[in-house]
Amino acid sequence: MGTCAPPNKASPAAFTENGDSTDKEILMNRLLLLSAAVLLTACGSGETDKIGRASTVFNILGKNDRIEVEGFDDPDVQGVACYISYAKKGGLKEMVNLEEDASDASVSCVQTASSISFDETAVRKPKEVFKHGASFAFKSRQIVRYYDPKRKTFAYLVYSDKIIQGSPKNSLSAVSCFGGGIPQTDGVQADTSGNLLAGACMISNPIENLDKR
């Protein structure tokens, strides 16, 4: 799934020997910051589906403040989809791309097929599976996937951050190989090809095989 992020943060303006920054350096830094803000605001959430919305505050000008709901499939874990709801600021500021959305967001991930399949070696490290801009001021919202090989469970964390300071507000959802669907086995077993069958999951390239090399 495609994601987008702001350009590298502009470094502080270089100072001359007398302590004053040159006009050219100031201008370049301002342009870099402005381009980063515009890019982040324009960023979409990648391959997601708009599920619905609920208005929370009526605005005379522009769209109402609202809660947006989107859904997407995990690109690396076949049979798992996530739904995210988040606050969206409307009004005049949204019309001119100057709004800043609240950090409140929630995520819920579910099994959407009779079985889940994934490459365990490929998912062992945390990965950002969703991201989009939440304000003109370098704020972004993202979902990061974590994998627990011991429990054969995926955890999806949603949170917001800024270039300078983020927010501690977050939401977590977990999907387990043993949480539902049609079980392949009652426990964890290896098939004839060396792959693992764990609950409703079919796991290729098991981590335990990689660790034995």
Q: What is the pLDDT along the chain (213 residues), one digit of tens a residue?
A: 444 444 444 443 333 344 455 666 655 554 444 444 444 433 444 588 999 988 776 666 656 677 889 999 999 999 999 999 988 766 445 444 545 555 688 999 999 999 999 999 999 999 999 987 655 555 688 999 999 999 999 999 999 886 556 678 899 999 999 987 666 667 788 887 889 999 999 999 998 754 444
| Exposure class string for 20-43: b at 16+ Cβ within 10 A, else e | eeeeeeeeebeeebeebbeebbeb
Global pTM value: 0.71
- CA angle (111 as vertex; 75, 172 as ends), nearest 5: 80
The CB density around residue 150, as the number of other CB atoms within 10 Å, is: 6
For position 12, what pLDDT does the model report?
39
What pLDDT shows up at residue 168?
81
Q: State how far the Cα of 133 lies from the Cα of 37, in Å rounded to an integer.
A: 9
